[in-house]
Structure 1
């Protein structure tokens, strides 16, 4: 009997070990070839960890972001509604980031979003890079990973993403999912449900931010930030053995008006506050909202587009989905009042300049390019 128990114990351990090996093998086959592709960078900087500077410091203090209950906008008194709006504007000025609860997006949709997202990223790397992962029929270049032209390890992002224009969702962007391949109908439906509800939230927050500037003209956003100009980005940050040398996502600001982020509980998002990096404590009930470059320019610097990043994790993978509120490429961005600290520019011009800087320098320079004093 004793020997039988030993045999059974060995069998269970073997099954457990094989299951772990299979899971790791599947993950490995789905991971982008970071080390192979950027091997020269790793050889060059193999003994240098991330440098502790204001832009790359690894000394972090964990904080909760300002937490705003949007339920007050519906069920609160007139005073509570006004206090909620004021809190949104103050957080956008002082932090550039805040988190919202009672935001109107159901827990079911968020959980389904995570589940379907994991399925997509588990596909083999060779399939994902063909822009035909699970027959999603995404636009060319939708799948992205790493960094285009890193000059050093601090410019390398250890992550992969599907950048999905709203017009690509379910092929045509309509609310009818009949055209979806049966294999991906759940993904189509989930992404569409998430996109519709989060875009409504983005529009609501934008209107509040415009109102709190004392500006009653809302037609700019209504005319230029349309469903077909915005996009979703599904992110995955694989476990990173070189975590002390690279970022999950290198420091940057967002080139849009407003970003709404749904993240898992692994953590890793960090942002600059008062000249220091702080780590954002995950809140399972909240969505994260941050101001983008365009809103900083449009508000004439009242609202703050803050540098943020994602740190790499040696053991755990991280998932998130972001919605970006963007205008059309020919939309002219100018301050809502004069004198303006930024010159007028189109969103297309801004994106082109960002792409050019990333290609030439390995990182984004951003709004400082468009200051009138320059």
Structure 2
């Protein structure tokens, strides 16, 4: 039985649409700014240089990659192996049984509300709230242990990076992220992008910005991640030793536009499947987001208000509007 979702059957009417997806031209393949987190341990000038490099990348790219990040290569390999196993199960088994009983709608694929190919993502995912890890009823014990271990490690890294980004703006002892971005609000997403026979007409993941503070991504070497740089799409060159970090909408608002939440997407591949796992540093819905500098660019808002507005915009217009709704 096929493990891939039935995209063409489910969305057959969309494939008859004459307005096919027209990918904007890509300039080139580039390496993201590379940050060696070991520099933070030395103190002094090297630590200051590392902080500045993180701030510069977050301002100019909205993305950077980190090495010596504290998550072992063994754990990353095990995470990749376990998610390949669970995604490799027959589609009907994934869709109808509680293989990973974290929450309702754990397993997701495609885009149920899509009305055009521009709104359809050729991918599938397991959405895993961190609070549900210890409560889960995963039928695969090695997957559960690996997810628990990975979630703990990447959560620590995310908190560390958020603190460094705040410190770079002059906030030396902020406990804001530790207080507001705990396991009750953060989550993992395991992703698979199946081979796509119409890769030139569709995205693996449609263009978007992330709605969190920051995202940490571990991807394989297939590639396909693209981001907007100076108004043009560039392809991110994979680095098997690095994790990718990108700024989300909330950090752009919190930093008063010092850091940028950048539009990105995943291009579908006609021949091979791609895997990735993403961690999202999110606050609770009642957390108030205030710009940290004057004059403020964005009015204050709660994360719940932001999420509700995004969902309404997607439902009504077919796309996310995001921070433009919250200008002061």
- TM-score bracket relative to the smaller structure: over 0.9
1:280 aligns with 2:236: yes
Stretch of structure 1 that moved more, 264-273 or 139-148: 139-148
The alpha-carbon deviation at position 49 of structure 1 amounts to 4.5
Alignment equivalent of 1:138, drawn from 87, 91, 102: 102
Q: Give 1:151's aligned residue.
A: 115
Encode CA deviations 1:137-193: one digit per residue, 9 max, x unaligned: 120011111113223212110000011000111426xxxxxxx66x41111111111
Q: Give 1:128's aligned residue.
A: 94
Whole-angstrom CA distance in 1 between matches of 2:149 and 2:182: 17
* 1:1-374 correspondence to structure 2 within 5 Å: 26=1, 29-45=2-18, 49-51=20-22, 56-74=23-41, 76-130=42-96, 132-133=98-99, 136-171=100-135, 183-216=139-172, 218-372=174-328
SS at match of 1:31: coil
Whole-angstrom CA distance in 2 between matches of 1:131 and 1:288: 32
Encode CA deviations 1:8-47: one digit per residue, 9 max, x unaligned: xxxxxxxxxxxxxxxxxx5xx21111111111111113xx
SS at match of 2:228: strand
The structure 1 segments of at least 4 consecutive aligned residues displaced by more than 6 Å after TM superposition are: none
TM-aligned CA distance change 1:241 to 1:60, over 3 Å: farther
Whole-angstrom CA distance in 2 between matches of 1:216 and 1:304: 21
Structure 1: 5+ residue runs without aligned partners? 1-25, 173-179
Number of aligned residue pairs = 328
Whole-angstrom CA distance in 2 between matches of 1:252 and 1:190: 29
SS at match of 2:142: helix
RMSD: 1.4
Say whether the 8 Å CA contact 2:189–2:278 is kept in structure 1.
Answer: yes
The alpha-carbon deviation at position 339 of structure 1 amounts to 1.9
The alpha-carbon deviation at position 70 of structure 1 amounts to 0.5
When Rg is computed on C-alpha atoms for both structures, the one with the higher figure is 1
SS at match of 2:70: coil
Q: Give 1:9's aligned residue.
A: none
What's the TM-score once normalised by structure 1's chain length?
A: 0.85
Whole-angstrom CA distance in 1 between matches of 2:97 and 2:254: 35
Whole-angstrom CA distance in 1 between matches of 2:17 and 2:142: 45
Whole-angstrom CA distance in 2 between matches of 1:188 and 1:310: 27
Structure 2: 5+ residue runs without aligned partners? none
Stretch of structure 1 that moved more, 236-245 or 358-367: 358-367
Encode CA deviations 1:42-95: one digit per residue, 9 max, x unaligned: 1113xx5532xxxx4133410000001011112x34111111111111100010
TM-aligned CA distance change 1:170 to 1:77, over 3 Å: closer
Whole-angstrom CA distance in 2 between matches of 1:371 and 1:234: 33
Encode CA deviations 1:315-349: one digit per residue, 9 max, x unaligned: 11000000000000110111112221111111111
The alpha-carbon deviation at position 131 of structure 1 amounts to 5.7
The alpha-carbon deviation at position 245 of structure 1 amounts to 0.8
What's the TM-score once normalised by structure 2's chain length?
A: 0.97
Whole-angstrom CA distance in 1 between matches of 2:114 and 2:324: 21
As a proportion of its length, which structure holds more helix?
1
Whole-angstrom CA distance in 2 between matches of 1:261 and 1:303: 18
